[in-house]
Homo-oligomer: A and B are copies of this chain.
């Protein structure tokens, strides 16, 4: 079983299930995203799809966010990055050299963090962990 889409339950279908219409622009965007799993900015999408207006791109991204299909990642330089979220809960690695965004999961981390509740004043609702790395692709170049 498991159509082996492994974890991508046909993104378009997800939208359809939530009552949204499947339009050409939305299909174009989703299709593009499927090839850009690396982490992308809104402006990137806009640049790649001349046929789709800015407004629609931003609207669609919000749609996908609400649908839980993509996740948002605030970056230091202002422009947030988005990425298709395959796993339920995960964290990000950001290459400081090329900006590529990756995902990882580590159960040990989650367990530990839960144990921290006592150190934190107030009720914990969620957390975020990011690792700043030099990614494999940039390593040879970067480390001289």
Contact = CB atoms under 8 A, between A and B. Distances in A.
Nearest to A112: B112
Nearest to A96: B125
A133 B125 contact: yes
Interface in A84-142: 93, 95-96, 102, 104, 106, 108-109, 112-113, 115-116, 119-136, 138-139
B134 A122 contact: yes
Contacts of A19: none
A74 B112 CA distance: 24
A139 B123 contact: yes
B104 A120 contact: yes
Contacts of A120: 93, 104, 131, 133
B119 A106 contact: yes
Copies assembled: 2
Contacts of A126: 131-132
A121 B135 contact: yes
5 contacts: A72-B76, A78-B78, A93-B120, A109-B116, A124-B132
Contact of A134 (B93, B113, B123): B123
Give the interface centre of A108, A125, A136 by most chain B CB atoms within 10 Å.
A125
